[in-house]
Homo-oligomer: A and B are copies of this chain.
Amino acid sequence: MENKLKELKTRLAEVSDLGAAGAVLGWDQATYMPPGGASARGRQMATLGSIAQAKFTDAAIGHLLDELEPWAAQQPADSDDAALIRKTRKDYDKQVKVSADWVSRANLHIAETYQAWTEARPANDFKSVQDALKVTLDLSREYADFFPGYEHIADPLIDGPDPGMKAASIRSVFSELRNELVPLVQAITSQKEADDSSLRKSYPEKKQLDFGIEVAKDYGYDFNRGRQDMTHHPFCTTFSITDVRITTRVQRKYLADALFSTLHEAGHAMYEQGVNMAYEATPLAGGVSSGVHESQSRTWENIVGRSRGFWEHYYPKLKAAFPTQLKGVGLDKFYRAINKVERSLIRTDADEVTYNLHVMLRFDLELQLLEGSLEIKDLPEAWHARYKSDLGIQAPSDVDGVLQDVHWYGGLIGGAFQGYTLGNIMSALFYDAALKAHPSIPGEISKGEFDTLHTWLRENIYQYGSKYEPDDLIQRVTGGPLRIAPYIKYLRTKYGELYKL
């Protein structure tokens, strides 16, 4: 069995190496690649992708799994090897069930739709992509049907980014959350708007970046095993457990962009850097789901990075870096500015409180489309109606409406959005558990010390990589299922104080 396990690991390492090479090519494409390199790069990434796919779905891997499973069943439930075989089996079955014909049709269609969207968006022309989106919806349903026996048609689509999670339970959690958030947003936005003009002065780019890097280092993002480069849309990417990189962008006239983007991506990166080294080059390396991943980026960006305690330590440093710009701006005013809540149209610009309303309405629209209770042609109106009911505003056009996000035009419909809000909910849930174990954490944060929190997260979450599915992980870490109470308490406390509710 040892030899078979070794052979399986060798094959999986090959697939992992191809994936990592693809990630390096993608990183270069988004950071340094000269414009002329684009078309060859697309071909090269596609080649790596299809070789990796072919190697992973090789029947030899299926046979090895068949032979290893009876042995794995006798290992302790907690065994890494058993987890590896379980996770590999799930991924393998998923990939072999999907027909090669579907994969090639979907890849081609998505590439075309993405191209069409890049033209439709500036032209405010939803009609021009409507038919393509219908095909995307059909392809999404077809994908789900490769996995008969699902409870909800969205479940197989959600299972990719958030393994094991189901539309029904997410819907119920989201509905509970919306019932809390809508009145909270109403209460806040009926107050005087926070003044964030201090963030919109002229801040030299290099100093902004240096400040963000200093904080990321203090957090514990290891630059010996990572680095930060510039890009248009910030992301985190993993080449190995010992090489996890982040990217950012910087606006001279908006201090909050680069800084919080760096803290956000550093959160993702610390998760990836914290995985057990024994999982290197296996399917257990890497964060387990988009939700758990987002819980870590949001913990370090928001729960820590936008907290009053954090700024008690860092605001004097920030003022020292930007003495002219922040002259006369006290800590309270600055803290209010970086936590300004407003009803807005653009998800990616939204604050901590309203953000989830943007996400949950997209999730609901996805489910309705997949269920057939909403047609693509009616999507723009349904979008506007939900913004009206949930956020109390309406976009003047589809540019800031249904054409806003790339997700449905550069991928399938279903599973694209729930991770963002699941992440916010989980961030407070995990943080609450960390505080129960170490009540000293908030005090440490206000001294710029993050070791206790980082170590707790690494020991309880990061090290496991993809070993435990999200629901299982949540149960292990918090002793209960996914629940919104800690998140609601976090928002109520923080914004209750800020807005004297």
Contacts and interface: CB of A to CB of B under 8 A. Distances in A.
B243 A41 contact: yes
Given A24-B24, A24-B28, A17 B43 contact: yes
A43 B9 CA distance: 14
Contact of A36 (B34, B36, B39, B225): B225
B239 A36 contact: no
A225 B33 CA distance: 9
Given A48-B17, A239-B41, A34 B226 contact: yes
A225 B17 CA distance: 27
Contact of A243 (B21, B37, B227, B241): B37
Contacts of A281: 40, 43
A32 B32 CA distance: 11
Nearest to A226: B34
A233 to B, nearest CB: 19
Contact of A240 (B20, B40, B47, B51): B40
Interface string A363-398: 000000000000000000000000000000000000
Given A28-B28, A43-B13, A240 B37 contact: yes
A224 B34 contact: yes
Contacts of A24: 21, 24-25, 28, 44
Given A24-B24, A25-B24, A28-B28, A222 B36 contact: yes
A452 interface: no
A51 B227 contact: no
Contacts of A28: 24, 28
A219 to B, nearest CB: 16
Nearest to A31: B32
Given A28-B28, A43-B281, A281-B43, A48 B33 contact: no
A351 interface: no
Interface residues of A, number: 39
Given A24-B25, A40-B242, A40-B281, A47 B18 contact: yes
B240 A34 contact: no
Contacts of A240: 37, 40-41, 44
A400 interface: no
Interface string A40-57: 110110011001000000
Could you say which of A25, A44, A229 has the most chain B C-beta atoms within 10 Å of its C-beta?
A44
A76 B224 CA distance: 57
Chain A, interface SS category:
helix
Contacts of A280: 40
Interface in A112-142: none
B25 A40 contact: no
Contact of A34 (B13, B17, B225, B241): B225
A102 interface: no
A10 to B, nearest CB: 10
Given A24-B25, A28-B24, A17 B44 contact: yes
A213 to B, nearest CB: 13
Contacts of A36: 222, 224-226, 242-243
Given A17-B43, A44-B239, 15 more contacts: A13-B43, A18-B47, A20-B44, A21-B48, A32-B229, A34-B243, A35-B224, A36-B226, A36-B243, A37-B240, A37-B242, A39-B242, A40-B243, A41-B243, A43-B281
20 contacts: A17-B43, A18-B48, A20-B44, A32-B227, A32-B229, A34-B224, A34-B225, A34-B226, A34-B227, A36-B222, A36-B226, A36-B242, A36-B243, A37-B240, A37-B242, A40-B239, A41-B239, A41-B240, A41-B243, A51-B51
Smallest CB-CB A-B distances: 9 pairs: A40-B240, A37-B243, A36-B225, A17-B47, A36-B242, A17-B44, A21-B21, A36-B224, A34-B227
